Amino acid sequence: MRICIIGSSGHYQYVLRGLHKDTRIVAIAPGSAGEEMTPLRKALKELDLHVREYEQYEKMIDIEKPDAVAINSFFGVNSKILIEMLQRKIHSFVEKPIAISFEDLNQIKSLYESVQKDVFFTAMFGLRYKAHFLTAKVLIDSGEIGKIRLLNTQKSYKLGKRHSFYTKRSTYGGTIPWVGIHAIDWINWFTGTKFLTVYATHSKIDNKDHGDLEMTALCHFVLDQEIFACVSIDYLRPEQALTHDDDRVRVVGTKGILEVTRGKVIVLDDKGEREVPLVAEKQIFSEFLSQIKGTGSCMVTPRDSILATEIALKARESADTGRVVEICQVL
């Protein structure tokens, strides 16, 4: 299997850590004019991986004819690149959100419908594969906490000094689609239930000269069966904190409450409160490869990738307009 990487602005590390023995990265290229490729170049060198480098990804694809690509350029162009790859029927491992506009997302949706027999793609929802999230999923699916009634989720990140493309809506997409989307994916994954409406707010105040970047956001979802879910997002995690992020989920069920926090899973039910031993971690790019090789299946599906993006864009629309927005989840 021959892989090309387009861009160096997202989670290419998943690719480097998930390679199979029969798979190699053959070439890299920027996905946008002016995209700095040094981070990826350096990471490849550290792994002693020698690859060809192109100035234009289109040329790279023409010449290298890869089996699959990883797409992680400036967030605003990933959708365009994904569309090109799907048209060429090249399997794609793409940064989330898969689009930052409804126009591009709709184009991906209809295109995918016509090519899905020949090509696979998935968004980089790698957080699902962490041991604590996988453990939570196993417990929820086993009925440990009964029926889910309420979910509280949190994404808290350090801001640091972000690349200038984060400061423009047109290249960044917004904090709800970039950061909040993970929590949206957890909610979708844990509940398997239809999202009906969203009310959201976001604020750029105190963003330390980061232009359009929203520092805080709050989303309130209503799912089928009157399941409620909130997503709290901030870039205000102090720089001295031990980890970059503070991801949390609290899932309230009719038989118990499950919490994912600080890499641990805590269950409280009629047997009392306990920390649950974690199942083994998995790796998203490795699963992506298994899927396209036909030796396994990838937990994050194209449907999940489209859905989380659509819901994130609806939440952003709500935050931009101040209105409750309906989610016409047709998938």
Binding site residues, a copy of itself, CB under 8 A = 147, 149-150, 152, 154, 156, 199, 201, 203, 205-206, 215-218, 220, 222, 225-226, 228-230, 232, 234, 236-242, 250, 252-257, 268-273, 322-324
Residues 198, 325 contacting (CB under 8 angstroms) = yes
Q: Which helix (H) or strand (E) holds 114?
A: helix 102-115
Q: Can you give the C-alpha Rg of the chain in angstroms?
A: 20
Distance of closest approach, residue 160 Cβ to a copy of itself, in angstroms: 13
Pick the closest to residue 100 from 122, 116, 82 (CA basis): 82
Distance of closest approach, residue 239 Cβ to a copy of itself, in angstroms: 7
Residues 11, 72 contacting (CB under 8 angstroms) = yes
> Is 55 or 326 the residue whose CB approaches a copy of itself more closely?
326
Which residue's structure tokens are 């993970």?
182
Pick the closest to residue 251 from 133, 156, 172, 169 (CA basis): 133
Rounded to 10 degrees, the C-alpha dihedral 67/73/76/78 comes to 10
In the three-class reduction of DSSP (H, G, I as helix; E, B as strand; rest coil), residue 234 is classed as strand
Residues 215, 175 contacting (CB under 8 angstroms) = yes
Torsions phi, psi for 151 (to 5 deg)? -135, 135
Distance of closest approach, residue 227 Cβ to a copy of itself, in angstroms: 8
Residues 15, 91 contacting (CB under 8 angstroms) = no
Q: What is the distance, to the nearest Å, from the Cα of residue 118 to the centroid of all Cα atoms in its chain?
A: 23
Residues 176, 217 contacting (CB under 8 angstroms) = yes
Distance of closest approach, residue 207 Cβ to a copy of itself, in angstroms: 10
CA angle 276, 280, 281 (to 5 degrees): 110
Distance of closest approach, residue 274 Cβ to a copy of itself, in angstroms: 11
> Is 238 or 294 the residue whose CB approaches a copy of itself more closely?
238
> Is 101 or 232 the residue whose CB approaches a copy of itself more closely?
232
Distance of closest approach, residue 229 Cβ to a copy of itself, in angstroms: 8
> Is 21 or 161 the residue whose CB approaches a copy of itself more closely?
161
Distance of closest approach, residue 218 Cβ to a copy of itself, in angstroms: 4
Distance of closest approach, residue 77 Cβ to a copy of itself, in angstroms: 30
> Is 8 or 216 the residue whose CB approaches a copy of itself more closely?
216
Which are the contacts of 12, defined by CB distance < 8 A and separation ≥ 6?
Answer: 5, 39, 40, 43, 70, 72
> Is 142 or 240 the residue whose CB approaches a copy of itself more closely?
240
Residues 184, 155 contacting (CB under 8 angstroms) = no
> Is 113 or 226 the residue whose CB approaches a copy of itself more closely?
226
> Is 40 or 219 the residue whose CB approaches a copy of itself more closely?
219
